[in-house]
Amino acid sequence: MDWLQALFLALIQGLTEFLPISSSAHLILASKVLQWQDQGLAFDVAVHVGTLTAVLVYFRKEVVEMISAWFKAVLGGKPTANSRLAWAVIFGTIPVGLFGLFLEAFDIVDLYLRETYVIAITTIIFGLLLWYAERQYKGKSPEQFKDEYQLRWRDIFTIGGAQALALIPGTSRSGITMTAAALLGFSRTAAARYSFLLSIPAIVLPGGLKGIQLAQEGAKFDWDFLILGIVVSALSAFACIHLFLKWLEKIGFMPFVWYRLILGVVLFAIVFMS
């Protein structure tokens, strides 16, 4: 891997991790189209550390309040909106954890789901589903919808179950969780905020397992590339989160729907021409 590849992949990871367009699909496709060698497990961990840092810094106030309220509730205190939201993040992570273990046990993703045509199909299908979810916002104000503090058990496990589908490349973790939340009656901003909070354990768990794997293998790292990956992915992800939440209620999900549909068509063209 050279400096250009490291910079480009870190930027892609940071810009696409929290947008409803699938970061994994873009990373896979960039390597295929540009014929780059696999960036390696260590670099994957580094850029995910970067995006994790971004979401933790951006939601630092909320995360601290949620953790504090959760511990107080567990130790016998009165449940609060923040403690319930913390539980919503914990239980919403269970489906993706279980599904991830299943896919990992049989190596399903690497063997069958990283093909370009699979990414094209999921890109289009879940783009159309996002379009369907966007339709309900037409002519209504955000105040007419629920916020993330009004999550019920059905909502939590439905959105969590949807998040599990994001292990299929091209689905988009943020895209499918926002879609599910929108269909359940949450505002665009609430759907995005809960999706971003759900990303914290969704990044920590697989990233931690990969880190343990690297430690057990006694891998040697090129720290210059890893530090570049962390910094670039963190800065670009932070900017992406801020601008996305700032503009979401104004622009809606349709720009991302159109992007996914165009990308899906391009991917099918690549499949048929190869």
Nearest CA among 40, 70, 83 for reference residue 219: 40
Cβ atoms < 10 Å from Cβ of 7: 14
What average pLDDT score do residues 112-123 get?
90
Q: What is the pLDDT of residues 8-21, one digit of tens each?
A: 999 999 999 999 99
3-state secondary structure of 186: strand
Nearest CA among 32, 36, 53 for reference residue 227: 53
Residue 19 CA, distance from chain mean position? 8
pLDDT at site 219:
65
3-state secondary structure of 271: helix
Q: What is the Cα gyration radius of the chain? A: 19
Backbone phi, then psi, for 19, in 5-degree steps? Answer: -95, 150
Residue with tokens 């939440």: 245
- CB proximity list for 61: less than 8 A, separation 6 or greater: none
pLDDT at site 116:
87
Q: What is the pLDDT of residues 34-85, one digit of tens each?
A: 877 767 778 888 899 999 999 999 999 999 999 999 999 999 999 999 999 9
